[in-house]
A = this chain, B = another copy of it.
Amino acid sequence: MLDSAPDSAVDPEAPSLPRIAGTVAASLHGTLLAQLRDYVVEGNLAPGARVPERLLCERFGISRTPLREALKVLASEGLIDLLPNRGARVRQLGPEEMVALFDVMGGLEALAGRLACEKITEAAFSEIERLHHAMYAAYLRRDLHGYFTGNQAIHDRIVEAADNEPLATTYANFAGRLRRVRYAANLDEDRDRWGEAMREHEEILDALRRRAGPELSDILFRHLRNKRRAAAVRESAAAEA
């Protein structure tokens, strides 16, 4: 092990820093990281494919050093795998991994719902209520895109209302990992699930209105579980095709 003596060589000053937002302040490196992350999340690279350093360097107009730094971060975020001496590969989600990630998403949403009940303002609730009604209207007219957009917005607002920065960051991370599996499509072919989801959203709004944290927490987790079930069905169906 390393010697465990505290490093008194470093200055123990800096009592209160400017507290730059987030983990990495708005910098050049941060920009590249965001770009590369989007590049991967948006599916520009095939799952399981090699991530070619040289090509990406040319594409982003930088040298290998900052790119490799960004790759290490993306690996720690779970977006890519790093194989020793064999480069990076886009992480491929097997069924088990997808199930696990969905469950974590459910847990995070459950937490967000509970915290939101404690902290949400009346104005923020009204906004969610408005989104809910708009989503319901989309549901009635079988407007899948409108429904999905509203659904996404509602969940995001709940996380936002939780007012917890680490939670929001972690939530975004897992959402990004699952972005690649388009789990929100084909509801129009699954009327039962769509109606069920809509009913669950009624419960969500109701619990949020009553600021019933634990209850909302439970509803949200089950909501994600059901969403996962629907996605899993589609997934296996797609695999057979």
Taking Cβ atoms with an 8 Å cutoff, the residues of A that contact B are: 2, 4-7, 9-17, 20, 23-29, 35, 39, 42-46, 48-52, 55, 59, 65, 68-70, 72-73, 75-78, 81-84, 89, 92, 97, 100-101, 103-104, 106-108, 110-111, 114-115, 164-167, 169-170, 174, 214, 217-218, 221
A-B contact pairs, 5 of them (CB 8 A): A23-B75, A72-B72, A78-B169, A100-B165, A100-B167
Q: Contact: A103 with B111, CB < 8 Å?
A: yes
Q: Contact: B6 with A43, CB < 8 Å?
A: yes
Q: Contact: B7 with A100, CB < 8 Å?
A: no
Chain B residue numbers with a CB within 8 Å of A6 are: 43-46
CA distance A22 to B176 in the complex (A): 17
Given A12-B49, A17-B92, A217-B221, 20 more pairs with CB closer than 8 A: A4-B44, A6-B45, A7-B45, A10-B45, A11-B49, A12-B46, A16-B48, A20-B83, A24-B72, A24-B75, A70-B72, A72-B72, A100-B167, A103-B115, A103-B164, A104-B166, A104-B170, A107-B108, A107-B111, A108-B111
Q: Contact: A81 with B25, CB < 8 Å?
A: yes
Min CB distance A51 to B, Å, is 8
- Closest chain B residue to A107, Cβ basis: B111
Q: Contact: A111 with B115, CB < 8 Å?
A: no
CA distance A72 to B12 in the complex (A): 22
The listed residue (B35, B44, B77, B174) touching A76 by CB distance below 8 A is: B77
- Closest chain B residue to A35, Cβ basis: B2
Q: Contact: B114 with A107, CB < 8 Å?
A: yes
Chain B residue numbers with a CB within 8 Å of A35 are: 2
Chain B residue numbers with a CB within 8 Å of A221 are: 111, 114, 214, 217
> Given that A2-B39, A170-B170, A174-B166 are known contacts, is A44 also in contact with B107, CB under 8 Å in the complex?
no
Min CB distance A52 to B, Å, is 6
Chain B residue numbers with a CB within 8 Å of A14 are: 48-50, 89
> Given that A14-B48, A52-B10 are known contacts, is A76 also in contact with B2, CB under 8 Å in the complex?
no
The listed residue (B97, B167, B174) touching A104 by CB distance below 8 A is: B167
Chain B residue numbers with a CB within 8 Å of A59 are: 2
